[in-house]
Structure 1
Amino acid sequence: MKRHLVTLAMIAATPASAQLVPSLPPRIGALPERLLNTVDGVVETAPKALETARLDRIAALLRSSGGRVVRDDRGDAARAGEVVLTDPNDAAIDALERDGFRTIERTEIEGLGVGYARLAIPAGIRLDHALARARLRSPIVTADVIHFRSGDLEAVSAAIATAGLVQSGPVVGMIDGGVSGGAVRQQGFATGAPRPSDHGSAIAWLIGRGAPGARVVAADVYGSDPAGGGAVAIARAIGWLARADVGIVSISLVGPPNPLLSRVIAAAQARGMTIVAAVGNDGPAAPPAYPASYPGVVAVTGVDARGRVLIEAGRASHLDYAAPGAGFAAPDAKGRMEVVRGTSFAAPLVAARLAAVGRGQVDGEAVAGRRYGRGLVCGRCVQRR
């Protein structure tokens, strides 16, 4: 057991990319089956291993971003050089501008009525210090925190076609990276977006597995931006999907709580939108994942080919469903089938089933199990390896 503990700790501490080709912080998918059979006990014995991986993932992004991503006052990754106000008033803006902040943008999420402002911080001040200074003027100031994808792809075979993403079935939205091919309606909310990504392409394909013939509407919040995945970009993406009357949206991203996103999600839900989100892969000792933890969001965990909840699965303030998250392959941006692992790949299956048959029938389909929430959904939607 001690040898297994050291092995997991070493894997979990390996830095991983969080952007264009995301990878699972602890590369648990590469562990031998012999170790996976005993690793539940290992994780319970060493919960800090996955937390170390989460912190290393943030550090790796900071190093690779060229200064465009820094830590905020909570230690989370955030866009450098600016702060965000939710539903700001003139007095708050004026007070901050008198203190050296400069308004970059003041607008609202169209169709949802949620206002926000982005302000550049004074020159020469670190973001965490600027946030503390700004909150002396207004308590509604936050950073534009970065959200990470929660899954991994590993190439295993030659290229295949990924046709059939858009047909005549239910409409399902997704907020992620861009999708390859021209059959998906896409909109970009980051520099260089929409741009095909491995992660986004796999998510779109899985929506089609859960709801054959589904029409996918994709919002790319990453593009080529090192600071992609920010709260403002995700909020704008939700607004765009709401204006397009998309009723079900899958989000396989995780980050810290953010007041702008909280307000926007609540406003979208009030319009009838159902948001489905993955609980992430940072382990049960990590902070609750958002947006999965916002009230009313359908929180989804992943299971492996043997029906076990992924040992790296994170947690949310609540859990609604489980779905396959490992032990199968999905296409990357070039159409190559790749083995996937992570709660990322469970969320689109649940979103697709909700769009196809509704909550009542999904509850009827769900198979009861330990740590499954309401049950396991779409257990036969993918071909398990």
Structure 2
Amino acid sequence: MPVEWQGSTISAAWADDDDGGDDGGDNGGGDDRDNDRDDDRDDDRDDDDRRSSPGSRTERGGSGDRPSRSGQRRPANAAPQATRPRAPVVLPTRAPSEVVVSDASAEDLAQLVSEGFVIEATVNLDNLNRVLTRLTTPPGLSLEAARDRVRALPSGNVADFNHYYRFEQKEGLEASSHACLHENCPAWEMIEWPQLTQASGTCSVRVPVGMIDTGINSEHEIMAGARLELIQLSDASLAPSKAIHGTAVASLMTGDPQSRVPGLIHGAEIIAVDAFSRNGADERADLVSLLRGFDALKARGVRVINLSLAGPGNRLLEQAVAQLVQEDGIVVVAAAGNAGPKGEPAYPAAFDTVLAVTAVDARARVYRKAQRGPHIDLTAPGVNMLSATSIRGARLKSGTSFAVPFVTAAVAIMLSTDATLTPEQVRAKLIGSARDLGAPGYDEIFGHGLLNTSNLC
């Protein structure tokens, strides 16, 4: 018999976090700048630039007397010790033995059970008006064959793997010559963000804004005054997500105007779903938890959803996103992904119904690890973005994850100005006003160009 869903099957973990935690400890007072000196040490293994940056602790072949691992010092003229290159960590893209099907009939499910499938759980998505069934595949049957078997049944067409989705960020300083790195003013200026009209209250957000991410530290000093509701959907039996990525993304939208990270739409109602959990060194959200997040956000009446995450294409995910956009009038904005220029398209950004956002630095140069393709819609700042850490202070972060909030914030203002706009009309307005970058006209690196908010208000 199916069991009632008691939590998401997210088995997530943080691949890039330091075992020592995310703060170096409070320094006993001082302003944000002082606290930042011993700020978060999260994602120390995530920033590959650190290995070649001057003064890095992991810089190889440097001069000087340095202790060896045995505690003895090497002479200054000694040959550099050989280092063994670390093998790249390959993270799984899906649950190893699971298929998820939407709205399967009782007869078809009974047939699958007779063939050795096991019904692990049913998930009622009341607001999306559908029922998900998580199936464990029979022994000896490949995952692809199991999925195809479910799809072959009369009601099994909408079946797919239980894919994993991860956020898109890198830590640390990317090369830039702009003088304003300690604040996000270069990013605001390059898209002509209406900060003055926002400050006067003439360009406020009056629609709820949704996001699906990791946990968020709502007590962070940078988040002071934020109208933030956090919905926890992760499985309590698994390790909870760390409030690193979610806090950073949320701070760009709703940070205290008087802090080091003033939010683009501070004062807006932000409804955030924590859909991530940890499994060893991997932090991820599975398909089912994402769909539960969509269901919860639809129930809250959001008009735009920020998805600073990416993963494989999935039939159930595509159907749910299309429903949100085409039937419910919700604009979905997602990160292009950080797998590099030759990476395959990442989802949900690559779905036709989604606004796919890539990232550039303060000089409008594309983020070196951003994915490309014919699905890219818009470009926004996403390199060297100062954002809140999970406990206190702020640090620079880069990735397509941090470009998404700029487009989400712009959409929120547009819908607050004219609530009758459809997602297609929002897309057309954003594309029509974008500033062309790269080759003339549309291209697969910058899409239709840089987000332009000069006439937003």
Question: What does the per-residue CA deviation read over 1:126-145, in whole Å, with 9 as the maximum and x for residues that have no partner?
Answer: xx724424533544442211
Aligned to 1:112: 128
Question: What does the per-residue CA deviation read over 1:62-115, in whole Å, with 9 as the maximum and x for residues that have no partner?
Answer: xxxxxxxxx5xxxxx212442211232223312210111111223442211233
Displacement after TM superposition at 1:279 (Å): 0.4
CA distance in 2 between counterparts of 1:367 and 1:232 reads: 37
CA distance in 2 between counterparts of 1:19 and 1:90 reads: 44
Aligned to 2:362: 305
Q: 1:133 and 1:174, CA in 2 relative to 1: closer, same or farther beyond 3 A?
A: closer
**In the alignment, does 2:214 pair up with 1:180?**
no
Aligned to 1:203: 249
CA distance in 2 between counterparts of 1:343 and 1:176 reads: 14
CA distance in 2 between counterparts of 1:196 and 1:221 reads: 11
Aligned to 1:129: 142
Name which of 385, 389, 411 aligns with 1:328.
385
**In the alignment, does 2:190 pair up with 1:153?**
no
CA distance in 2 between counterparts of 1:282 and 1:91 reads: 42
Question: Residue 284 of structure 2: SS of its match in structure 1?
Answer: coil
Question: What does the per-residue CA deviation read over 1:109-166, in whole Å, with 9 as the maximum and x for residues that have no partner?
Answer: 22112332101234x55xx7244245335444422111121102349x99xxxxxxxx
**In the alignment, does 2:447 pair up with 1:373?**
yes
Aligned to 1:218: 272
- Percent of residue pairs identical: 28
Point out the more displaced range, 21-30 or 195-204. 21-30
Given residue 176 of structure 1, which amino acid in structure 2 is its aligned partner? D
Q: 1:328 and 1:355, CA in 2 relative to 1: closer, same or farther beyond 3 A?
A: same
Q: 1:19 and 1:236, CA in 2 relative to 1: closer, same or farther beyond 3 A?
A: farther
- Is the radius of gyration larger for structure 1 or structure 2? 2
Q: 1:379 and 1:246, CA in 2 relative to 1: closer, same or farther beyond 3 A?
A: closer
CA distance in 1 between counterparts of 2:331 and 2:168 reads: 20
Q: 1:130 and 1:297, CA in 2 relative to 1: closer, same or farther beyond 3 A?
A: closer
Given residue 205 of structure 2, which amino acid in structure 1 is its aligned partner? G
Which protein is richer in helix relative to its size? 1
Aligned to 1:27: 48
Aligned to 1:95: 111
Displacement after TM superposition at 1:29 (Å): 7.6
Displacement after TM superposition at 1:214 (Å): 2.1
Contact 2:137–2:146 (Cα < 8 Å) also in 1: no
Alignment of 1:1-385 (within 5 A): 17=15, 27-28=48-49, 56-57=88-89, 59=90, 61=91, 71=92, 77-122=93-138, 125=140, 129-133=142-146, 135-139=148-152, 140=157, 141-154=159-172, 169-170=205-206, 171-181=208-218, 183=226, 184-192=228-236, 195-208=241-254, 209-224=263-278, 228-269=284-325, 270-358=327-415, 359=426, 362-363=430-431, 366-370=434-438, 371-377=445-451
Unaligned runs of at least 5 residues, structure 1: 1-15, 34-54, 62-70, 72-76, 159-166, 381-385
Higher relative contact order (CA 8 A, sep 6+): 2
Q: Number of paired residues?
A: 317
Displacement after TM superposition at 1:348 (Å): 1.2
Question: What does the per-residue CA deviation read over 1:177-235, in whole Å, with 9 as the maximum and x for residues that have no partner?
Answer: 01101552011222248755111001101123332322211011113455731111111
TM-score using structure 2 length: 0.62
Q: 1:134 and 1:352, CA in 2 relative to 1: closer, same or farther beyond 3 A?
A: closer
Contact 1:83–1:131 (Cα < 8 Å) also in 2: no
Aligned to 2:7: none
CA distance in 1 between counterparts of 2:163 and 2:333 reads: 20
Unaligned runs of at least 5 residues, structure 2: 1-13, 19-41, 55-86, 174-180, 183-200, 220-225, 255-262, 416-425, 439-444
Question: Residue 203 of structure 1: SS of its match in structure 2?
Answer: helix
